Structure 1
């Protein structure tokens, strides 16, 4: 054994060939923190002292460095001062250079998923051999790929500018098969043959059959391309970024592309110095902080979810009340997870219609014919309540009419003979607590508010009432997640969480339009600031009738903050003109074949509500007008324990389009500074209660605590 440490070992594998092996004993994955970097340096020094080494293979026993662990390392980076960070990053570059400059050929062996820091190390080797269908590459996040040391310099030299840009802009994980097509993997073999293939390549390189020195030269020298080739490649990349909505606000990606542009015509060492400066700049971005916080939010959510899984009751069979498209999708997703699904129908015609909806939905989901057949066998329409009487879980998703919903829930509960059966109601504005008071077993009743229309990850509010049992909550949360949804626990109150915090935002939007600000201009401003949808588009997605129902409910529940003059509002004018949003393909915009189209007729409809003397507000003021009411209401929900923690606030709202580059309302306030945010609120306080900072923020300033300390146990 040449070196034996906690995370790295070096040994002679056969005559002339050594193996440098990464295997962390402390962590479940390879985590490249300060300790492992020190050991990495020692291992390389040991290799240099061995006179009989003619070739080296790098192997990884553990899976890729997980996103969560990589984020923890980046958080350490952001806490270091400028000199410490420079020293640390320079050391990382020196270590990868050390591998690349060894006086003999090197091969990286990929037998497990290799992403992040592991991936960067494989790029320093002369060759890469891999098993098929493994994840490889940069770590992909909701904000794009996470930058990794030396990748900007090495990746384009190995696979060319355009392919490197494709890897940087990837929105999903890449695999070794696509890497092989791009020329990043030199040999792709069966998992049993990976080591043998690597040894074979090394033997050929050692004996001069492969020109490994020439292979290395292309990474050490400037990229061979003409100025016109360089111009075209980067012009295309910038055009892609500027035209793709999800990439437009990605400052990390823009700096990565800029780093590539400045380094491709330089030798490696010069290029790495520039890359290091860009890397440090990326680490200082507020977007990088948002990326780190987004992973923190998800990590916290995952940890919290463990407590639900511990208390959950297994669901073997389910029943659906309702025959709409939402019911069809729920039936399919339930069938994937359970043994049987019943759908309550009134007659044979309705049964045929719902089964046809289910077949169509299955076709659109591109499920295999065999799997489709299996799922259809598990789903059965039923005309009576008798068959439903023994199911474990009932989901009511009838039309949003309070009286008919309550009647249907009471009727199904009276037929159920299994006392542990949970009834979940698909609701948007009806009080769970009030419905529960009409039931015999209120502890087993809970609400589900599906937000598929406005949520990028199928967010669901799981709404609990005053008497809902903890076991009911746990089972419903776990079951909803198994349906490939993202459940967020919310305490019953008017508007729940999402609609309650969106209403002040959308109400402020209406106010701006009545002041004479063009609604399309507002949409453009908010989308340029990072929102997935502008407020007019969001209203169309929610639906004009649904918004008016929510507005009425919230105005009655919170009159001091959510007063709403429905008779003269601009949304009411659209409703009167039968522009209902996506429901009938026209609202603020028209919709044809999923495309949003501007419609000049809307201005004529809205004209009567717009002031004669029109305001001219700057971009920052428009953003403040909209963001402050939403952020304040989010904090009030946290204050009232409607939602438990800032992590869940941010996760929920980024799911429906809040700017990812700001991390969520709580992170937005925290980054601005709570004291500074309160001062901002004070400058707009004359606009009403929605603009006055919540008491919780004042208390946090006094205590010196963070919003992310609230509700955390």
Structure 2
């Protein structure tokens, strides 16, 4: 038996080495060893080489780094590279026709196309902690490399449907138990990839002694009664991946009814339909946008400040959620209040929130106590002295915040980061109350802060790069998606809400009802209509903002008084059992209120507006284009670093449908030229509120198709 030969490259992402009579192909396409064009080419060349070499008895395929293969390289979808020869099916055809065994050595993950490739191998050896799954439905796709046809033949129809519809992976030991894998390489996860490869080589050598090797596509589908029509009916029409789930069910059904070749063709046709659609493109856009948002180039190489203890000022709903976010990540938190009653209410709310989570089976009693133990309630402001990060979450009033930050400046350690949770106020003015503006930053959590994934990280004019880098990294540590934004009224998310709510108010005056406005937008895909959202958030908060900004509002611009009139009645939304809608005590269900209909009609009459029939399409167009136009201004001003950051903010902070990609990507799918044309038409019809953003005009004039073109 010959010794191990030196590894040689077959392509930029695949290498070949000979371990005695076993060829080992190593995937090396960071970060997840995706099956891009060069990886597929290298695999085909390596397998062909091994099959043609009489000295080789078997082949092992493994992944370099932390994973086996995370799937197709989705960066190449809808590009020539995605369809370049060889396709995965060409490689698997080569494997399935072979006399020599091919073993997939799986560690980390085998997901999507990675698992589909492994299914086409004769044997699969896994580490106990490996994750194997087909998550394509999460990108509004179906598996396109045979997953819906081969998986049912290995694990049965019912289990295959469950895995494909949910996208949830199984662990290594479970994979062996259900027939998805052949052996667990015990201890390999601790010893490293080399130990896994060694175990896979052992399996390969034993298998080489057999004349025949198992081929998944040649197996019969195990018998079992599955009501596919019932499965289709059970898919929620509100699920963002409902179309993909239904297509996946039909593909698995095809596996039970068609020969393998026809089933593979049926699956591929469904994949091609979905991958070409805007819905899947939108979800892939968000997938990459979420991963791009936390990157902070200026912080590369900087030493991060240690965050071992946190202090949160204020034990209201927001402060409680923020404290829980840190406790959930195992970080000790001091929860600071001025009054014992408020502090007691806050701690009771924390416990109640954890108990609700436990009632859903997501926390054990001992985990509740462990997290509660990390939160120290105190009336002593001096507790901030021990904190590496202080997050202020008190009343949204500039004078109050300035006074607090002056105190923090004196009480906190020199290395502490001083953060405000303000949703609108000027970070630079707050920082000016301290002698160390470089240490001041905005951390705008979204309510409920312990649940919502978005975190707007607001950099002030003087905020130090290491403070920004530390907060971006810290956000990921507490399982948030951070988006770095600049200082302006409302930052990104709330600034864009202003024209969104403006158009909703105008549409009410012009003839729409609250329920029609909300209904049109929820049917569009928004998690909640703008008026229901206002009731939930508390209308008094935005009323205070409008009153604060009233002196700066141009007198010539139209202004709807509907929201102000509702607030003047003492109706602030759900918390007062009345806002745009009325609410039964203890209920969050909005009930149309004739009183509000009369109020809206009075406002329209006083403004000289003739009411008319309004269609849902107009509601969607005006509110969406208002978001887009303001977003374009935000990009041009540098408040957001990229259009995709705005999309992340709106998908994760404001309930924008991920399958539409966020407001800026949605505009790109419509066509920027068409968006500009409609905005100009609205300008002619409705006046100066609809001045087109200069960036949008320049992009269209230059023939650009995206907001980040040329930036």
Residue in structure 2 matched with residue 659 of structure 1 by the alignment: 657
Residue in structure 1 matched with residue 566 of structure 2 by the alignment: 573
Residue in structure 2 matched with residue 9 of structure 1 by the alignment: 16
What do residues 446-467 of structure 1 show as CA deviations (whole Å, max 9, x unaligned)?
A: 3332213499743222334444
- Note the C-alpha offset of 1:681: 1.6
Assess, with a 3 A threshold, how the Cα gap between structure 1 residues 159 and 507 changes in structure 2: closer, same or farther.
Answer: farther
Structure 2 residue 421 is matched with structure 1 residue 426: yes
Residues 648 and 662, structure 2, Cα contact 8 Å, conserved in 1:
yes
Residues 530 and 658, structure 1, Cα contact 8 Å, conserved in 2:
yes
What do residues 139-180 of structure 1 show as CA deviations (whole Å, max 9, x unaligned)?
A: 468645674422233223333444333223325544335545
SS at match of 2:312: strand
1:314-463 alignment runs, 5 A limit: 314-334=306-326, 341-346=333-338, 352-363=344-355, 379-389=375-385, 391-413=387-409, 415-416=410-411, 418-453=413-448, 457-463=452-458
Structure 2 residue 546 is matched with structure 1 residue 546: no
SS at match of 1:242: coil
Q: Choose from 235, 238, 253 the match for 1:241.
A: 235
Residue in structure 1 matched with residue 92 of structure 2 by the alignment: 96
Assess, with a 3 A threshold, how the Cα gap between structure 1 residues 677 and 439 changes in structure 2: closer, same or farther.
Answer: same
Residue in structure 2 matched with residue 128 of structure 1 by the alignment: 124
Q: Give the distance between the partners of 2:710 and 2:574, measured in 1 at CA.
A: 37
Residue in structure 1 matched with residue 597 of structure 2 by the alignment: 606
Assess, with a 3 A threshold, how the Cα gap between structure 1 residues 604 and 87 changes in structure 2: closer, same or farther.
Answer: same
Q: Give the distance between the partners of 2:171 and 2:622, measured in 1 at CA.
A: 45
Residues 495 and 553, structure 1, Cα contact 8 Å, conserved in 2:
no
Residue in structure 2 matched with residue 165 of structure 1 by the alignment: 161
- Note the C-alpha offset of 1:624: 0.8
Gaps of 5+ in 1: none
Residue in structure 2 matched with residue 537 of structure 1 by the alignment: 532
Residue in structure 1 matched with residue 291 of structure 2 by the alignment: 299
Residues 318 and 447, structure 2, Cα contact 8 Å, conserved in 1:
no
Moved more, 478-487 or 349-358: 349-358
Residues 566 and 579, structure 2, Cα contact 8 Å, conserved in 1:
no
Q: Give the distance between the partners of 1:442 and 1:43, measured in 2 at CA.
A: 58
Gaps of 5+ in 2: 189-194
Q: Give the distance between the partners of 1:374 and 1:121, measured in 2 at CA.
A: 42
Residues 22 and 30, structure 1, Cα contact 8 Å, conserved in 2:
no
Q: Give the distance between the partners of 2:485 and 2:314, measured in 1 at CA.
A: 24
TM-score by length of 1: 0.82
Residue in structure 1 matched with residue 700 of structure 2 by the alignment: 701
Structure 2 residue 496 is matched with structure 1 residue 501: yes
- Note the C-alpha offset of 1:518: 4.2
Residue in structure 2 matched with residue 486 of structure 1 by the alignment: 481
SS at match of 2:424: coil
Q: Give the distance between the partners of 1:128 and 1:590, measured in 2 at CA.
A: 57
SS at match of 1:489: strand
Equivalences, count: 685
Assess, with a 3 A threshold, how the Cα gap between structure 1 residues 658 and 554 changes in structure 2: closer, same or farther.
Answer: farther
Residues 643 and 649, structure 1, Cα contact 8 Å, conserved in 2:
yes
Q: Give the distance between the partners of 2:220 and 2:705, measured in 1 at CA.
A: 48
Assess, with a 3 A threshold, how the Cα gap between structure 1 residues 556 and 257 changes in structure 2: closer, same or farther.
Answer: farther
Residues 628 and 691, structure 1, Cα contact 8 Å, conserved in 2:
no
Residue in structure 2 matched with residue 23 of structure 1 by the alignment: 27
Q: Give the distance between the partners of 2:324 and 2:116, measured in 1 at CA.
A: 42
What do residues 352-393 of structure 1 show as CA deviations (whole Å, max 9, x unaligned)?
A: 555444444555565666666665565444444444346433
Q: Give the distance between the partners of 2:357 and 2:556, measured in 1 at CA.
A: 43
1:249-260 alignment runs, 5 A limit: 251-260=243-252
Structure 2 residue 180 is matched with structure 1 residue 184: yes
Assess, with a 3 A threshold, how the Cα gap between structure 1 residues 88 and 514 changes in structure 2: closer, same or farther.
Answer: farther
Q: Choose from 66, 72, 75 the match for 2:75.
A: 72
Assess, with a 3 A threshold, how the Cα gap between structure 1 residues 577 and 122 changes in structure 2: closer, same or farther.
Answer: same
SS at match of 2:302: helix
- Note the C-alpha offset of 1:498: 0.9
Structure 2 residue 675 is matched with structure 1 residue 677: yes
Residues 545 and 575, structure 1, Cα contact 8 Å, conserved in 2:
no
Q: Give the distance between the partners of 2:488 and 2:324, measured in 1 at CA.
A: 30
Moved more, 137-146 or 660-669: 137-146
- Note the C-alpha offset of 1:475: 3.7
Residues 676 and 696, structure 2, Cα contact 8 Å, conserved in 1:
yes
Q: Give the distance between the partners of 2:75 and 2:97, measured in 1 at CA.
A: 30
Q: Choose from 581, 588, 593 the match for 2:581.
A: 588
Q: Choose from 269, 275, 282 the match for 2:274.
A: 282
Q: Give the distance between the partners of 1:397 and 1:362, measured in 2 at CA.
A: 20
Residue in structure 1 matched with residue 691 of structure 2 by the alignment: 692
Q: Give the distance between the partners of 2:457 and 2:416, measured in 1 at CA.
A: 17
Residues 287 and 662, structure 1, Cα contact 8 Å, conserved in 2:
yes
Assess, with a 3 A threshold, how the Cα gap between structure 1 residues 575 and 129 changes in structure 2: closer, same or farther.
Answer: farther
Q: Give the distance between the partners of 1:179 and 1:617, measured in 2 at CA.
A: 55
TM-score by length of 2: 0.83
Assess, with a 3 A threshold, how the Cα gap between structure 1 residues 184 and 92 changes in structure 2: closer, same or farther.
Answer: same
What do residues 493-537 of structure 1 show as CA deviations (whole Å, max 9, x unaligned)?
A: 222221110121122223333333344344343233332323233
